[in-house]
C-alpha cells in the first residue's frame, strides 16, 4: 500500500478512535489535574504564545489560557475540540481551537514560545515525526513540555493487557506508553533541546472500588478500550478473558488506596 494512503487511513482510524465513548468524562473526572501540572512545570506565563498538541478537551490548553497565555489547542478529533470549546466557554476563557494532526502541524517554524502535550502526543502513531513537529513549531529558547503515561505505570499496563486482544499495528507504529520512558523521549528530542528535566509522578485516582467497576467505566468511555472490545465481535470467550484480565489489573492496583497512575513529565528548552 502507498505510504500516503496508509497514513491517511491511519489518521482516519485515530480520529474515529478518540470519538468513541465519552473522553470528556475521563478528562473531567479522572485526569483533570494533569493539565495544570504541565503548565506549571513548563513555566507558562502571561503573554506567552502556547500550542497544546493533541489537546483533547483542553486540560492543559485551558490551564495555559487561565495563566494569561495566548493559546492554540490542536487535536485530530473534531468532537473533542467541540467539547473543549464548550468547557472553555463555561469557564469564560478564550483560546483558539484547531483541527490538526500532531505529525503534520499547520503552523510556522518557531511560531510558539511553549509547545505542550498532556497525555496526547503519545498517541500519535509515528513518534519521531510527532517529536520533530513539536520542536519545529517552538521558537529557539522556547519550552517543550510533554506529560505521558509510563509503560510500567497503571495505564501503560492497561495497554499491555489489551495488546493480545487487538490487531497488530502497521509497521513503523510505536506503542504510546514509550513516551513515558525517559530514554525514548530523550532519543526523540536528541541534541535539539537543552536544560532537560524529567520526573515521574503519580496521579491519585479514587473513583473506583472494584476492578469490575473500573473495567465497565473504561468499556463505556475510553476509546482504546471500546475499540479493543469491538474488535472481538461476538467472541464470548475472548470477551470474558479480556474482562478478567482488566479486572485483575485494576484489583491489583486497588490494593493501594487511592490507585496511583504513574506519568512522566519532560520539560526542555529548544536549542
Confidence of residue 1 (pLDDT cuts 50, 70, 90): low
Domains annotated on the chain, with CATH:
3-207+258-270 (3.40.50.150)
Residue with cell 468547557: 87
pTM of the model: 0.97
Q: How far apart are CA 11 and CA 105, in angstroms?
A: 13
Q: What is the pLDDT of residues 93-141, one digit of tens each?
A: 999 999 999 999 999 999 999 999 999 999 999 999 999 999 999 999 9
Q: What is the pLDDT of residues 176-224, one digit of tens each?
A: 999 999 999 999 999 999 999 999 999 999 999 999 999 999 999 999 9
Residue 127: all three cell numbers together? 513518534
Q: Are 109 and 136 in contact (CB under 8 A)?
A: yes
Give the CA radius of gyration of the chain: 18
Q: How far apart are CA 72 and CA 209, in angstroms?
A: 37
Q: Are 246 and 215 in contact (CB under 8 A)?
A: yes
| Mean pLDDT for the stretch of residues 256-263 | 96
| Mean pLDDT for the stretch of residues 28-46 | 98
Tell me which H or E stretch contains 237.
helix 236-253
The pLDDT of residue 238: 98
Whether 164 shows a pLDDT value over 80: the answer reads yes
Whether 18 shows a pLDDT value over 80: the answer reads yes
| Mean pLDDT for the stretch of residues 166-176 | 94
| Mean pLDDT for the stretch of residues 43-65 | 98
The pLDDT of residue 143: 98
Considering the chain, what percentage of its residues have pLDDT values greater than 70? Answer: 100
Confidence of residue 3 (pLDDT cuts 50, 70, 90): confident
| Mean pLDDT for the stretch of residues 216-242 | 98
φ/ψ bin of 54: left (φ > 0), alpha (ψ from -120 to 50), beta (otherwise): left
The pLDDT of residue 4: 83
Q: Is the dihedral of CA 3, 5, 6, 12 positive or negative?
A: positive
The pLDDT of residue 2: 72
Mean pLDDT of the chain: 97
The pLDDT of residue 6: 87
Whether 91 shows a pLDDT value over 80: the answer reads yes
| Mean pLDDT for the stretch of residues 220-230 | 98
Amino acid at each position: 500500500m502507498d505510504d500516503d494512503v496508509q497514513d491517511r487511513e491511519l489518521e482516519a482510524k485515530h480520529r474515529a478512535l478518540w470519538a468513541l465513548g465519552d473522553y470528556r468524562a475521563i478528562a473531567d473526572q479522572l485526569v483533570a489535574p494533569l493539565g495544570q501540572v504541565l503548565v506549571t512545570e513548563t513555566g507558562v506565563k502571561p503573554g506567552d504564545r502556547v500550542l497544546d498538541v493533541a489537546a483533547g478537551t483542553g486540560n492543559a490548553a485551558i490551564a495555559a489560557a487561565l495563566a494569561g497565555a495566548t493559546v492554540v489547542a490542536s487535536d485530530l478529533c473534531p468532537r473533542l475540540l467541540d467539547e473543549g470549546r464548550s468547557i472553555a466557554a463555561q469557564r469564560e476563557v478564550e483560546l483558539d481551537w484547531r483541527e490538526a494532526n500532531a505529525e503534520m502541524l499547520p503552523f510556522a517554524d518557531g511560531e510558539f514560545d511553549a509547545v505542550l502535550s498532556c497525555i496526547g502526543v503519545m498517541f500519535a502513531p509515528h513518534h519521531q515525526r510527532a517529536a520533530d513537529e513539536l520542536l519545529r513549531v517552538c521558537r529557539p529558547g522556547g519550552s517543550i513540555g510533554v506529560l505521558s503515561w509510563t509503560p510500567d505505570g497503571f495505564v501503560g499496563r492497561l495497554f499491555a493487557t489489551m495488546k493480545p486482544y487487538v490487531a497488530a499495528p502497521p509497521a513503523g507504529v510505536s506503542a504510546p506508553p514509550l513516551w513515558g520512558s525517559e530514554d525514548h523521549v530523550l532519543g526523540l528530542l536528541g541534541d535539539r533541546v537543552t536544560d532537560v528535566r524529567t520526573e515521574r509522578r503519580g496521579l491519585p485516582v479514587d473513583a473506583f472500588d472494584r476492578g469490575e467497576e473500573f473495567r465497565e467505566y473504561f468499556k463505556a468511555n475510553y476509546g482504546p478500550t471500546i475499540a479493543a472490545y469491538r474488535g472481538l465481535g461476538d467472541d464470548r470467550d475472548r470477551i470474558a478473558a479480556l474482562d478478567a484480565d482488566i479486572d485483575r489489573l485494576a484489583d491489583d492496583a486497588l490494593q493501594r488506596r487511592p490507585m496511583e497512575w504513574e506519568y512522566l513529565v519532560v520539560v526542555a528548552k529548544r536549542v
